[in-house]
Chains A and B, each alone.
Chain A
Amino acid sequence: MMALADLQIPGALVRLVVALAALAAFVGVNGMLLVYLERKVAGHIQRRPGPFEVGPHGILQAVADALKLVGKQLVTPNGADWLLFWGAPVVSFMPVFLLFLPIEFGPGLYGLDVNLGLLLILAFAGLNVVALCMAGWGSNNKWALLGAARAVAQSVAYEIPLLLAVLAIAAMAGTLHLGEIVAKQGSWPWQWNVALQPVAFFIYFVCSVAETNRAPFDLPEAESELTAGFHTEYPGMGFGLFFLAEYAEMIVVSAVGATLFLGGWKGPLVDGVWWFLFKIYAWLLVMMWIRWTYPRVRFDQILNLCWKWLIPLALLNLLATFVALAVV
């Protein structure tokens, strides 16, 4: 029998513990930052200053928001299913740290060395759908159920072109290890996968907006028709957790996108974690820009965009990738 110490515990376990602690801080800080950033970006796009009262230029607004949310009573609506209702925000937040673990933030800066890293992220991101079902059904509210049905249909529909676009990259790289996919790309933009796979990049980007339920695809919580969609009944921190999970997922999709298409932590002149963070934030800012620029689309338009355009396009792109790999 092997003692655990022979199984290189120190290495793997220490890395895991440090990574999880760092990720807890990373998600907390960036969640706050994104809340502030979104409100500021929204403000400036609409020619107003955004939050301005709490701290200089309102930088403490997110802290004030968080304290306010914690101070709200957790009300369970009449007739709601307690377990489903309160389980939903917890389940939606549960996989967040796991989604970050396989991502390589910088040279050697990853939480978990796993060959199937990309698949790990895709598999556990699906847990969000379960949380939506629980929230919609458990709330005893018509808006919540309608919003959940829409959200689930939308996020499963957009998962297919997403998977097909990711498959094109996997076929090129010959691996699902995120670190190795970065290693196969160069430092200059024309050596990144986006130069070879512009169509896959475009498809992935559209799907990343749709999967995180952001405008123009924010039908699930369309306030003008569904009040607030699946989180209509959630008070204070219940809503806060959905919100934080959504922002964390935005960071994950942009981090995976930057890894797959934009060379990860590699960049012109000096490689390093700063390039990765820069790319993530550039991606997030574009998502915010889109959100505050375009009007919301109709539900049948969302699904038809996916089934009539993105999926055939993704299939053709994958086919072209296979042909190119066979010819070259």
Chain B
Amino acid sequence: MVFTWLNIAILAALGLGVAFAGAPLAGSVLLAPRASGGDLRMPYECGMPPHGSPWIRFGINYYFYALLFLAFDVDVLYLFPVAVAYTEHAGWIELVKVCIFLAALGLGVLYFWKKGVFTWPKKIS
């Protein structure tokens, strides 16, 4: 274990963020009126009493976008060190290596496009 100031900096900055956010909330608790009763706490749904639970099941579309994003994100993880190292010894062999990597990513996008992941039909079951 090695102590670095980066640890402290991250913790202190996050702590300050929480304090900065907590102060006005605490101010509201102290200053604001305390009304209750009636429909004050009813969730808003265009004026009527809410119909059913909001925790419905969503379509799988959103899940796909999250999945594609995750895969791309992991790819980018490996591109960061490579991109930074690339300038120092950029040659044709390195270029080919990086090209293969990027080609797989590009092919992925083309494949989804062809499969129709990006088309939104009027009705999704």
A residues lining the B interface (CB < 8 Å): 7, 12-13, 16-17, 20, 23-24, 27, 66, 69-80, 86, 89-90, 93-98, 101, 111-112, 114, 119-120, 137, 139-145, 149, 152-153, 156-157, 159-160, 163-164, 167-168, 170-176, 227, 232-233, 236-238, 240-241, 300, 303-304, 307-308, 311-312, 315, 318-319, 322-323, 325-326
Provide the bound-state CA to CA distance between A144 and B41, in Å.
15
**0/1 string, B1-37, CB within 8 A of A gives 1:** 0010110111011101110111011011101111100
What are 26 residue pairs bridging A and B, where the CB atoms are less than 8 Å apart in the complex? Answer: A13-B8, A17-B12, A69-B24, A71-B31, A73-B32, A73-B34, A75-B41, A76-B41, A90-B18, A90-B22, A94-B21, A95-B13, A98-B17, A114-B9, A119-B80, A140-B54, A142-B54, A149-B58, A160-B76, A227-B46, A237-B24, A237-B25, A311-B109, A315-B105, A322-B102, A326-B91
Provide the bound-state CA to CA distance between A98 and B94, in Å.
35
The 6 closest A-B pairs by CB, nearest first: A174-B87, A98-B13, A93-B21, A300-B120, A171-B83, A94-B17
Q: Which of B14, B32, B94 contacts A72 (CB 8 A)?
A: B32
Provide the bound-state CA to CA distance between A253 and B76, in Å.
19
Provide the bound-state CA to CA distance between A153 and B13, in Å.
28
The answer to whether A232 and B44 have CB atoms under 8 Å apart is: yes
Interface of B, secondary structure class, is: helix
Interface centre among B16, B21, B88, B99 (most CB of A within 10 A): B21
The answer to whether B84 and A20 have CB atoms under 8 Å apart is: no
Q: Which of B28, B42, B69, B85 contacts A70 (CB 8 A)?
A: B28
The answer to whether A170 and B17 have CB atoms under 8 Å apart is: no
Q: Which of B28, B68, B73, B95 contacts A326 (CB 8 A)?
A: B95
11 extra interchain contacts, Cβ-Cβ under 8 A, other than A70-B32, A142-B50?
Answer: A20-B12, A70-B31, A73-B32, A89-B21, A119-B80, A303-B118, A315-B105, A315-B106, A318-B79, A322-B86, A326-B91
Closest to B19 in A: A24
Are A307 and B5 CB-contacts (below 8 A) given A20-B13, A164-B76? no
B residues lining the A interface (CB < 8 Å): 3, 5-6, 8-10, 12-14, 16-18, 20-22, 24-25, 27-29, 31-35, 40-46, 50, 54-56, 58, 62, 65-66, 68-69, 72-73, 76, 79-80, 83-88, 90-92, 94-95, 98-99, 102, 105-106, 109, 112-113, 118, 120
Q: A75 to chain B: which residues have CB within 8 Å?
A: 40-41
What total of A-B pairs shows CB separation below 8 Å? Answer: 208
- Nearest Cβ distance between residue A204 and chain B, in whole angstroms? 15
Q: B44 to chain A: which residues have CB within 8 Å?
A: 77, 141, 143, 227, 232-233
Q: A23 to chain B: which residues have CB within 8 Å?
A: 16
Provide the bound-state CA to CA distance between A114 and B5, in Å.
10
The answer to whether A90 and B105 have CB atoms under 8 Å apart is: no
Provide the bound-state CA to CA distance between A88 and B13, in Å.
18
The answer to whether B24 and A156 have CB atoms under 8 Å apart is: no
Provide the bound-state CA to CA distance between A189 and B35, in Å.
57
The answer to whether B28 and A71 have CB atoms under 8 Å apart is: yes
The answer to whether A73 and B14 have CB atoms under 8 Å apart is: no
Q: B85 to chain A: which residues have CB within 8 Å?
A: 174
Closest to A78 in B: B41
Provide the bound-state CA to CA distance between A23 and B12, in Å.
12
